């Protein structure tokens, strides 16, 4: 009988970790999440789940799978898992931090550049045969990044990596809002200033979101937040969709309260607010590609499998997000 159920297809390097350790496992060949009832049925009796961010692992799953001891999420975020329910049932939850930091920061910066320099519009303009030569006042006039102010909402690993790219590569001034101050060395390196959220909004030319999805951060970017931003400001989100009130964002973009947006995540993925799809100027949209390089996604699968292997072999997994379960 399988000890591990892999809810969706992962890269073979991750599966190989289990094979080399002699751990029986079963992997679904599909790349779409199972309905909860089907997941429960297929995972009966297993000790470990390897899950993806599209899997919803809630109280009903933990109740129905009493043998379950660990859930290894192939992601740095774990808002798809009810962590309090897992802890109550004595189930360890792990994630895959660090490995996707640089790839996600690259994506955030790419979206910021794409929205600022209107790359999606320019691409369509050329492909549709509407470009008839260079002009001084071209239709796709963008804005500079160099020397502007970048506001980082959430100065964790990815936020810091984004700030480094901005400061060292583009000479940008860095403001940040975070629950706690960044290390003094990081602040000094980036000449970064920790400021209240309201000041971050009012002074930033670009605001990049890098905070986790929690009840406290849900819809932190509201209509009021957009009114506080500069009319020339651009919002970038590569964290989690629910941090942004998408209806309010659409209204802010349509009314000119802010100038643009670069979004890799959405409130109701894979559904996207229809208003965002209609906005074709200064808006860049991507299908949750933050960690989507072959090297990074492969390493995420390996790390999740390593977490499972270590736990099932009686060792402490490196990336437990509810370590109190291990102490019990």
Where along the chain do its domains lie?
A: 4-98+294-327, 101-285
Task: Exactly one of 69, 173, 288, 297 is catalytic; name it.
Answer: 288
Contact predicate 10/50, CB 8 Å: yes
Peptide bond just before 270 cis, omega within 30 deg: yes
Q: Which fold has domain 101-285?
A: Rossmann fold (3.40.50)
The mean per-residue pLDDT over the stretch 199-219 comes to: 97
Answer yes or no: 210 catalytic. Answer: no
Q: Does the annotation mark 297 as catalytic? A: no
Q: What's the pLDDT band for 7 if we cut at 50, 70, 90? A: very high
CA dist., res. 14 & res. 265, Å (int): 25
Q: Indicate if 128 belongs to the active site.
A: no
Average per-residue pLDDT in the chain?
97
Report pLDDT digits (tens) over 46-97: 999 999 999 999 999 999 999 999 999 999 999 999 999 999 999 999 999 9
Class of domain 4-98+294-327: alpha beta
pTM across the whole model: 0.92
Residue 2 pLDDT: 81
**Tens digit of pLDDT for each residue in 14-51?**
999 999 999 999 999 999 999 999 999 999 999 999 99
The predicted structure's pLDDT at residue 160: 98
| Domain 4-98+294-327 shares a fold with domain 101-285 | yes
Go through 228-243 and write b for each residue having 16 or more CB atoms within 10 A of its CB, e for each that does not: bbbeebbbbbbbbbbb
Among 148, 173, 210, 240, the active-site one is 240
pLDDT at 1 over 80: no
Across 239-258, average pLDDT: 98
Question: Sheet containing 25-27: which strands, arranged edge to edge?
Answer: 25-27, 4-6, 48-51, 70-73, 92-94
């Amino acid at each position: 009988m399988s000890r591990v159920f892999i809810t969706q297809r992962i890269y073979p390097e991750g599966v190989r970790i289990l094979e080399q350790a002699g751990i029986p496992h079963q992997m679904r060949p599909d790349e779409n999440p199972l309905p909860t009832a089907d997941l429960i049925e297929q995972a009966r009796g297993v000790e470990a789940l390897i899950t993806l961010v599209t899997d919803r692992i809630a109280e009903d799953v933990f109740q129905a799978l009493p043998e379950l001891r660990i859930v290894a999420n192939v992601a740095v975020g774990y808002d798809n898992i009810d962590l309090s329910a897992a802890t109550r049932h004595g189930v360890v939850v792990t994630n895959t931090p660090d490995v996707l930091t640089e790839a996600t920061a690259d994506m955030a910066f790419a979206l910021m550049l794409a929205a600022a320099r209107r790359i999606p519009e320019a691409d369509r303009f050329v492909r549709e045969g509407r470009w008839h030569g260079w002009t001084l006042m071209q239709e796709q006039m963008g804005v500079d990044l160099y020397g502007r102010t970048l506001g980082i909402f959430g100065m964790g690993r990815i936020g810091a990596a984004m700030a480094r790219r901005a400061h060292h590569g583009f000479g940008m001034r860095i403001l940040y809002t975070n629950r706690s101050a960044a290390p003094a060395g990081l602040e000094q390196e980036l000449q970064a200033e920790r400021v209240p959220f309201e000041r971050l909004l009012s002074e930033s030319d670009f605001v990049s979101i890098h905070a986790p999805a929690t009840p406290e951060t849900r819809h932190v970017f509201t209509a009021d937040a957009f009114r506080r931003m500069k009319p020339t400001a651009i919002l970038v989100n590569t964290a989690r969709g629910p941090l942004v009130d998408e209806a309010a964002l659409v209204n802010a973009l349509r009314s000119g309260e802010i100038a643009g947006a670069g979004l890799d995540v959405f409130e109701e993925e894979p559904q996207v607010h229809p208003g965002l799809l209609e906005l074709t100027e200064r808006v860049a949209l991507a299908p949750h590609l933050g960690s989507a390089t072959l090297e990074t996604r492969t390493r995420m699968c390996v790390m999740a499998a390593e977490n499972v292997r270590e736990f099932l072999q009686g060792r402490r997994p490196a990336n437990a997000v509810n370590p109190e379960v291990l102490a019990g």
